[in-house]
Amino acid sequence: MAQRLEPVVKIENSLNNPMKNIKKPNRKRPEPLLDAERRKDTGVTKLTHRDDGDLSGYKKKALYALVVLIFFFAVVVTRLWYLQVQQGEYYSELADSNRVRSIEIAAPRGNIYDRKGREIVTNRPSFNVVWIRENNKINDEWLKSLTKILGQDASTILEKIRKMTGVPGHVPVRLAEDISWETVARIENNRMYLPEIKIEVVPLRIYHYGNLASHLIGYMGEISKAELDKVDQRLYRGGDLVGKMGLERLRDSDLRGEKGHDYMEVNALGFEQKNLKGDEPLPGRDLHLTLDVELQKIAEEEMALGNRAGAVVAMEANTGRMLALASAPTLHLDEFVGGISQKDWQGMLSNPLHPLVNKLVQGQYPPASTYKTVTALAGLAEGVITPDTTIHCGGSLQFGNRVYRCWKKGGHGAVSFKRAVAESCDVYFYQVGIRLGVDRLARYANLFGLGSTTGIEMEHEKPGLIPTSEWKKKRYGKPWQEGETLSVAIGQGFDLATPVQVAVMTMVIANGGTRYKPAIVEKALDPDGKVVNSFSPEVLSRLSGQGKNLKLVREGMVEAVNSRRGTGREAQIDSQGIIVGGKTGTAQVVRLAQYKGLKEANIPYEYRDHAWFTCFAPAANPEIVVTVLVEHGLHGGSASAPIAAKILNRYFEDKFKEQQGPVPEKATTGKSPGNRVLLTPDMIEEADDSPPDDDTGGDIPPPQPDEAQQ
């Protein structure tokens, strides 16, 4: 009975305590391994022995970890300091550059004026098209729109972009220069589609007298990569216009000024939002030259009349200021602006008149009979002749087994010193040359500035050549021949000189022995009109103790222009009784037997002789020197002297106008016998009343005795 009631009891107990049989979810489950350890635990703590070596290893590892941690934090702190403090300004600007566009503003280039303040070169605004490269890409649609607006081929635009490879991206690419107003309007109307295309306003040079003094003034062009590598990158960048030749190049540091900057805030698409504060450009310095525009115009116009090649130099006799510097033919400056085409370049290279050569300082010619003034002075100074020395000229001189002829076939007869200079007697100066010898002659030529550069502010000046016995031995390995001295004594043979050198030589004679450095720039003025630097005569050398001898040479040169038998009679002028002293010269180009005896007009142009004339005025107190060389002009007396006369006429007419008002009418009506100067008897030698038997109007050089002189 009891056994049957047991389940009932259990059920009843379960009902009395319903929570008793519910399993708790967090009840600890048996852990056999842990329980086994607990049963083994006797309640006594056991200490395990550790090795000191292991403890030391743990300490080292902890130390290394600490060092690495410290180093890491030091690097981070240092880098943060460098970026935030040391380079903070740089990165601040870099951040600004993401929203601010810097645009360079070209500085107005300095103007160029003549000695009287007349404008030769100034500036005008020009509009160029530039592409801001920074983050912009080229696509077909963009290129198509641009070619249509600019009227250029796609290949032309891409070539201009390729040229800027390697140049920093912030430097814009110039795609078109000096565009028309119509093109400017088209670009502005399409700004929405071409946000990276900008109009750049830059000063462009204006040459007020066209190509006047082109070899002296020079021209400008875009800086080349080779030039950019050689200059200060802070001052120049790709696309800048720089002087390429002449004063534009030599005085570029004075003329260029300092660039300004315009800062524009742009949005993410590159459109300009706001104009920020910038800095204005500083204009370049103005140059005031010693040049006289009116004299320069006469020189170039006279050379152009007969399509002549050559050079004209006019300078002050007592300071070295250059009044006119003309090299003919002139350069066409507009052909060089923006880069000369291959066709135009080849045309200049093949031109027989060689316009690319600056004949003033790069053309080297035998000085011919103009050199006889040096031989005359050297003979007097060395005592091999006196003012009274008379030499007979029979038309030729036998020296060794050769015959050296005078330009006057019949000879000059008994010739005095002054008459020898005036009539350019070759035989007289042959004799003087023999007595002097080549080395003594060369020493005096060097004192006149021959054989070395003059220092004039022009590019690539040549030194000419004054031979010596040592020079020939070194150059050819042969001894000097005495016969060669005869040719050198009359300015032929190895002698070479530039037109500027001959002008300097004449200046030394005219002013009594002082050689000045030729000067072109009178002064440079900053934008405020203050004189930065100014011209001061620079003496290079003096012929001391030769005043009387130089006076004798000048008197001979006065006779050359004013006596009845003089070779330079065409240089007489009409202005206010001014007396001119000068010397003609005819430089032999080549000796060819087939042209002997031919009329001059039948001789090919390239084989005709060069024509020299150099002079000074007034004779009593020289103040101006003029030298003219006409390439292949045959005779100095007929080809070059008239050009010099026109320059002298204009110089003195302008001078008298400034001093006392207009020149009398008779002094400006051209040359006529009534206006010519009548020399006093003591200024010219008495001569036979009969006309000369051979009057060529110039010097005719003798045949050269040595093959090296041909």
**Are the C-beta atoms of 314 and 626 separated by less than 8 Å?**
yes
**Are the C-beta atoms of 114 and 293 separated by less than 8 Å?**
yes
Nearest-angstrom CA–CA distance, 369 and 362: 20
List, for the chain, all residue ranges whose pLDDT scores fall below the cut of 50: 1-11, 15, 663, 665-710
Tokens matching residue 418: 């002054």
Nearest-angstrom CA–CA distance, 160 and 17: 101
Measured in whole angstroms, how far is the alpha carbon of residue 487 from the centre of its chain? 36
Select from 384, 467, 468 the least CA-distant residue to 428: 384
Nearest-angstrom CA–CA distance, 288 and 302: 25
Tokens matching residue 686: 């008495």
Distance between terminal CA atoms of the chain?
Answer: 165
Please give the domain boundaries of the chain with CATH numbers for all domains: 100-289 (3.90.1310.10), 295-330+357-525+535-686+693-709 (3.40.710.10)
* Residue where the block lists tokens 């103007």: 111
Nearest-angstrom CA–CA distance, 14 and 11: 5
Return all residues near 307 (Cβ < 8 A) that are at least 6 apart. 329, 353
* pLDDT at 192 (0 to 100): 76
SS3 235: coil
* pLDDT at 155 (0 to 100): 80
Measured in whole angstroms, how far is the alpha carbon of residue 156 from the centre of its chain? 29
* pLDDT at 647 (0 to 100): 95
CB-neighbour burial class of residue 676 (10 A; exposed 0-12, middle 13-18, buried 19+): middle
Tokens matching residue 23: 């399993």
* Residue where the block lists tokens 């004192």: 447
* pLDDT at 650 (0 to 100): 94
SS3 129: strand
Cα dihedral angle (148, 151, 154, 159), rounded to 10 degrees?
-140
Nearest-angstrom CA–CA distance, 541 and 562: 31
Give helix then strand counts, H and E, for the chain. 22, 23
* Residue where the block lists tokens 């967090």: 26
Nearest-angstrom CA–CA distance, 336 and 331: 9
Task: Please report, for residues 109, 386, 565, 701, the alpha-carbon distance to residue 382 in angstroms, rounded to integers and kept in the order given.
Answer: 54, 10, 28, 26
SS3 642: helix
CB-neighbour burial class of residue 660 (10 A; exposed 0-12, middle 13-18, buried 19+): exposed
SS3 375: helix
Phi, psi of 21 (to 5 degrees): -95, 0
Query: According to the 3-state scheme, what is the secondary structure of 85-108?
Result: HHCHHHHHHHHHHCCEEEEEECCC
* Residue where the block lists tokens 């042209």: 595
Nearest-angstrom CA–CA distance, 166 and 183: 29
Nearest-angstrom CA–CA distance, 444 and 381: 9
Return all residues near 125 (Cβ < 8 A) that are at least 6 apart. 201, 202, 203, 204
Q: What is the DSSP string of 34-65?
A: HHHHHHH--S---PPP--HHHHHHHHHHHHHH
**Are the C-beta atoms of 586 and 369 separated by less than 8 Å?**
yes
Nearest-angstrom CA–CA distance, 631 and 643: 14
Enter the DSSP assignment of 365: B
Tokens matching residue 390: 């008379």
**Are the C-beta atoms of 457 and 442 separated by less than 8 Å?**
no
Nearest-angstrom CA–CA distance, 225 and 413: 67
* pLDDT at 685 (0 to 100): 35
CB-neighbour burial class of residue 202 (10 A; exposed 0-12, middle 13-18, buried 19+): buried
Nearest-angstrom CA–CA distance, 376 and 412: 17
Enter the DSSP assignment of 282: B
Q: What is the β-pairing status of strands 581-587 and 610-617?
A: antiparallel
Rg (CA), the chain: 45
Residue 129 neighbours by CB distance under 10 Å: 24
Q: What is the DSSP string of 242-258?
A: EE-SHHHHHTHHHHS-B
Select from 704, 692, 706 the least CA-distant residue to 405: 704
Residue 274 neighbours by CB distance under 10 Å: 11
CB-neighbour burial class of residue 165 (10 A; exposed 0-12, middle 13-18, buried 19+): exposed
Select from 59, 62, 80 the least CA-distant residue to 70: 62
According to DSSP, the residues that pair with 624 across neighbouring strands are 316, 617
